[in-house]
Amino acid sequence: MKIRYYILSLLVLLSAQVFGQAKFIGTASKTVVGTGGQFEVSYTINTNADDFTPPNVTGLHILSGPNVSNSFESINGQSSQSTTISYIMMAIKEGNFTIGPASIVANGTKVTSNSIQIRVVKGQPVPQNNGGGGQSGASNANTQDLSKSLFLRAVVDKDNVYQGQKITLTYKVYFRVDILQNQVNKLPDLTGFWNEDVKLQQQQPRVETYKGIKYNVADVKQVLLFPEHAGNIIIDPFEISFVARVRVATGDIMDQFFGGNVQDVNYTAKSLPVVIHVKPLPEAGKPDSYTGAVGNFNVEASVDKNELKANEALNYKIKVTGAGNIKLLKNLNPAFPADFEKYDPKITDTVNGGAGSRIYNYLLIPRHKGDFTIPEVKFSYFNPANGKYTSLSTKAFNIKVNKGLTENNVTAFSDDKQDVKLLDKDIHYIKTGNAGSIKQGDGFYGSLPYYLLLLLGPIACAGAFVYRNRVRKENSDVVKVKSRRASKVAAKHLANAQTELQANNIKAFYEAVFKGLYGYLSDKLNISYADLDRETISSALKAKAVNENVVAQLLDTLDLCEMARYAPVTHISTNEVYEKAKNTIDAIENEI
């Protein structure tokens, strides 16, 4: 019986190893194709993976790719996922060609696909490009190696974290060709993360070695991510369209002598999706004072005075410093004495790159004389470096409150809260005896102004009621309110852009103009900021009958701002860009 049990266990382990292995398969939509014909080559892996290495392709032209798609499937509680990376290729000349194997890293192991055999027979003539440049024919010229000379990478500093732990995500463009233009096609969907963009400093491309090859590298976008829940969270690809200038082989001996012919090529690059493995925070050892802080912190408290008079202000400050999810910290709850009147704290964040400080400043007003104690405040956080919870406490403060004056001649409450000193300058004794009488109509009481003032109160209340209802009705439509205030919000961004321009911060100027236009369009058109792109903006404005020239001017301004993030713009001045953005907003306001 035991032997059967061991044999069965061994078979289960072997089957788990066999069926749990990553499978990386390459396929082609056609294996026999005529010259000039197009076909698709796809590489599919059945698990999470990254660091894709393209295949070696000779004798065939790559028209587009790599194009990345993901699929998820759940049947009877069993979930599966796969990633497919595809290329569109074109046959150039007759013969038998081999598309070499591609490789990818899955679960820390490099996996290699199979080779693909393609037979090219005589077919339609292959389009030729005889010009020296331009974008026409761009998809047919020297693009088979472009994916190795121009690509995007999504790089995270860690992919195995705890819930709430900070992750730095950087999108980098690697290139060995001249980039003439670029345009962001699709921003990544960061669902499942609290995220914050990091402002990138103006930079020159640097040289990095990747897989043994030197590339020029520039950071395109950097984001701080804080996972909101446990599990595997996928970061979608980031997509950018480029116009790259590549060299084209030519039979002309003079062209070969002077470096060959060049051609401008349209090329779309996508980063591969990134999977972040998020672990839940452990329940063991979690203190009662824990409220969600993840990182490494320190806490301290202070008061601006230890002795004061009743009804004077006291400032009590708690400062949390360190690195982690500072901006996600919840409000602290100090236990102040009952005789202290307290106000909601003023919160000040000084954070850069997920590190810095948060200050809670409480305004306290003691109302009575006495000796009081502000007790210690407990603060707990989870440190992902050692996987443990740490609890800290501030020190307690003894506060002495002396008897104080509310005015120059009336004392505050004393120990029994009943002592009020009577001074003849403020409180007089009641006059006794015959105080005399006043005839009706002789004074203000009963006169016409008296009754007019009586009517003024109800009339003012009725007017205020009508005004309040009108304001509520106008503000009940959130879309209209955002649309109405869109130009004011854009004006603030443009004012900030002008400030950056005066400080000669050119890149910050273009970013401010871009954010101003995108924020204005998001509010004006009632479209989510993340869903805005060229096509959405153009179709939404045309649906509102905005003049096509205004739409073209808007898109041109957005392109200039995007291009300025990666390369200097020289054919137009910054003042002209500012005026174009301002005039475009005014034109849209006039037409909508």
Domains delineated in the chain: 21-126 (2.60.40.10), 129-280 (no CATH), 295-402 (2.60.40.740), 478-591 (1.20.120)
What is the amino acid identity at position 201? Q
Task: Output the six-digit token pair for 306.
Answer: 């230890």
Compute CA 535 distance to the chain's CA centroid, rounded to the nearest angstrom: 22
- What pLDDT, on a 0 to 100 scale, did the predictor assign at position 493? 73
pLDDT tens digits for the chain (592 residues)? Answer: 445 444 444 444 444 344 456 788 999 988 888 877 788 888 998 887 777 888 888 878 777 667 777 665 655 555 567 788 888 887 878 889 899 899 888 877 888 999 999 998 886 544 433 333 333 334 444 444 688 889 999 999 999 999 999 999 999 999 998 888 888 888 888 899 999 988 887 778 899 999 888 999 999 999 999 999 999 999 989 999 998 888 766 555 555 455 556 788 888 999 999 999 999 999 999 998 898 999 999 999 999 999 999 999 999 999 999 999 999 998 888 999 998 999 899 999 999 888 999 999 999 999 999 999 999 999 999 999 999 999 999 999 999 999 876 544 444 444 444 444 444 444 554 555 555 555 555 567 778 888 888 888 888 888 888 888 787 776 665 556 565 666 777 777 788 888 887 888 888 888 888 888 888 888 878 887 777 777 888 888 888 888 888 888 888 888 878 777 666 666 677 888 888 888 888 888 887 7
Nearest Cα residue to 228 out of 278, 172, 176: 278
- What pLDDT, on a 0 to 100 scale, did the predictor assign at position 365? 93
| Residues 560/564/566/571 CA torsion (nearest 10 deg) | 80
In angstroms, how far is the first alpha carbon of the chain from the final one?
A: 83
Omega of the bond leading into 66 within 30 degrees of 0 (cis): yes
- What pLDDT, on a 0 to 100 scale, did the predictor assign at position 512? 85
User: What is the enclosing helix (H) or strand (E) of 506?
Assistant: helix 506-525
Question: Distance between CA atoms of 515 and 528, rounded to whole angstroms?
Answer: 13
The secondary structure of 201-234, three-state, reads CCCCCEEEEECCEEEEEEEEEEEEEEECCCEEEE
The dihedrals phi and psi of 406, each to the nearest 5 degrees, come to -80, -35
User: What is the enclosing helix (H) or strand (E) of 266?
Assistant: strand 261-270
Q: Burial level of 209, CB count in 10 A (0-12/13-18/19+)? A: exposed
CB contact at 8 A, 361 and 314: no
Q: Burial level of 145, CB count in 10 A (0-12/13-18/19+)? A: middle
Up-side HSE of residue 62: CA atoms within 13 Å toward CB? Answer: 26
- What pLDDT, on a 0 to 100 scale, did the predictor assign at position 16? 39
Cα 219 to Cα 173, 202, 207, 214: the distances in Å are: 6, 10, 12, 16
- Residue 225 β-bridge partners: 167, 195
User: What is the enclosing helix (H) or strand (E) of 12?
Assistant: helix 2-19
Helices assigned H by DSSP within 183-222: none
- Cβ–Cβ contacts within 10 Å for residue 85, how many? 24
CB contact at 8 A, 142 and 263: yes
Q: Give the largest Cα separation in the chain, rounded.
A: 129
Which sign, positive or negative, has the C-alpha torsion 542, 529, 563, 275? negative
Q: What angle do CA 347, 349, 350 make, to 5 degrees?
A: 150
